């Protein structure tokens, strides 16, 4: 698959990545929601991506794991 990865603040200056299908996680967000994520730098996330339950479903063995700001604070305190 060829995946377009937009950059901030200008999403037209993104890049293309060639990845295998097992490295792609499909979501049910709209194009409008995806563009809000891009323009906000990831601060505005649709509920489907932001929920803990969905993050558990999306995790695959060997896949990179994203850490949220609240989780980072918890890690720093321990």
Query: Is residue 24 within 8 Å of 4, Cβ to Cβ?
Result: no
Q: At residue 49, does pLDDT exceed 80? A: no
pLDDT at position 71 is 44
What is the pTM (predicted TM-score) of this model?
A: 0.48
Nearest to 39 by CA among 68, 10, 16, 78: 10
Q: At residue 57, does pLDDT exceed 70? A: no
In sequence order, what are the residues at sequence separation of 6 or more whose Cβ sits closer than 8 angstroms to the Cβ of residue 57? none
pLDDT at position 18 is 92
Query: Is residue 52 within 8 Å of 71, Cβ to Cβ?
Result: no
């Amino acid at each position: 698959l060829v995946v377009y990865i937009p950059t901030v603040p200008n999403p037209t200056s993104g890049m293309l990545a060639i990845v295998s299908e097992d490295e792609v996680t499909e979501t049910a967000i709209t194009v409008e929601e995806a563009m809000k994520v891009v323009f906000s730098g990831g601060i505005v996330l649709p509920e489907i991506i932001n929920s803990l339950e969905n993050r558990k479903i999306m995790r695959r063995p060997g896949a990179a794991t994203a850490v949220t700001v609240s989780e980072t604070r918890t890690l720093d305190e321990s």
